[in-house]
Amino acid sequence: GESVGLHLPTLSVQEGDNSIINCAYSNSASDYFIWYKQESGKGPQFIIDIRSNMDKRQGQRVTVLLNKTVKHLSLQIAATQPGDSAVYFCAENISGGALTFGSGTRLQVQP
């Protein structure tokens, strides 16, 4: 059931601004990282991924940065739109294994 008092960290941005969502991962052996977007009542939607032999990868309006030294992952969304409002999760795994998800960040885009 629901855990009373739990709140996802929230990032609130204005439409058109850039958003940066951060994630600290736990396993230094992880070699594959993914960002997912989850809208209310739906399953996770793949946004972008990156392997540990890279430190940056760009997609359409999104960029993922990986800093293995401090085990930090970030997702940058350019020109944020109202449709980007959702909860964003980072996930990590060791090749072929199950994903371990981060705690999530709620992105609210103000029109």
Q: Phi and psi (nearest 5°) for 83?
A: -70, -10
Query: Closer CB to other proteins, residue 9 or residue 83?
Result: 9
Please count the other Cβ atoms lying within 10 Å of the Cβ belonging to residue 23.
Answer: 22
- The rounded distance, in Å, linking the Cα atoms of 89 and 99 is 11
| Residue closer to other proteins (CB basis): 46 or 94 | 46
Q: Please say which residue, 46 or 83, places its beta carbon nearer to other proteins.
A: 46
Tell me the closest approach of the beta carbon of residue 75 to other proteins, in angstroms: 15
Beta carbon of residue 35, minimum distance to other proteins (angstroms, whole number): 13
CB of 101 to other proteins, least distance (A): 5
CB of residue 8 vs other proteins: minimum separation in angstroms? 6
Which residue lies nearer to other proteins by CB, 17 or 39? 39
Residue 27 DSSP symbol: -
Q: Which residues bind other proteins (CB under 8 A)?
A: 1-3, 6-8, 36, 41-46, 89, 96, 98-104
Residues in contact with 71: Cβ distance below 8 Å, sequence separation at least 6, in sequence order: 24, 25, 26, 28
Q: Residue 72 to residues 21, 65, 83: CA-CA distances in angstroms?
A: 11, 8, 26
